Amino acid sequence: MLRKSLVGLLLASVGGVIAFAVWLWWNLFRPLPSDASLSSRFLAHRSDFDSLATMALADTQLVGAGHDWMLMRFTVFVHDNARFDRMLPEGEVRATGRTEYRRLIDRAGVPSVSRGRDAVWFMAMSHHGRAMKGIVYSERALTPLRPSLDGLERENSASAMAGYVPLAPKWFLFLEPTD
């Protein structure tokens, strides 16, 4: 009886390790989303993207918000002072009304949003630590414009990899190197 229990426990443990390895591999090495799938997501959830961009640009302390798969929770980071950013505790996220980020991010179907001085970045996915792809709202024109971003993550140089595809006024698909 003890032997059967130990064998069952061992099999469950091995199965869990294999499942985690497959999940990790899928999250690190799956292909980046196509331009068509990101454009379709943007069009289907345009009002959510517009709301998120307006909210994030108005929130001058916001650094970023999104689902953190390592911490298994939703996180919000803000500029704490000129030199440091900090993650808000859940109570402060609720007290400041920043829970709305989670609702809109989930509806838009992107894992995270980050804020720049005059742009809001909606990262759809990062690939091999080499490139990230998503949707960006920018108050300024972005270059280089390209007809398509599909497959550019396989380029050898960072400058050949980066690019933007216009979606709507001030809205673009983006592909940028992470290095």
pTM above 0.85, yes or no: no
Distance, CA of 79 to CA of 73 (rounded, Å): 20
Contacts of 82 (CB under 8 A, 6+ apart): none
Contact present, 101 and 80 (Cβ < 8 Å): no
Whether residue 153 has pLDDT greater than 90: no
pLDDT level of residue 36 (50, 70, 90 thresholds) = very high
Contact present, 179 and 158 (Cβ < 8 Å): yes
Q: What percent of the chain has pLDDT over 70?
A: 85
Query: Which pLDDT score is estimated for 126?
Result: 66
pLDDT level of residue 179 (50, 70, 90 thresholds) = low
Query: Which pLDDT score is estimated for 80?
Result: 82
Give tens-digit pLDDT for 37-94: 999 999 999 999 999 999 999 999 999 999 887 767 889 999 987 788 999 999 999 9
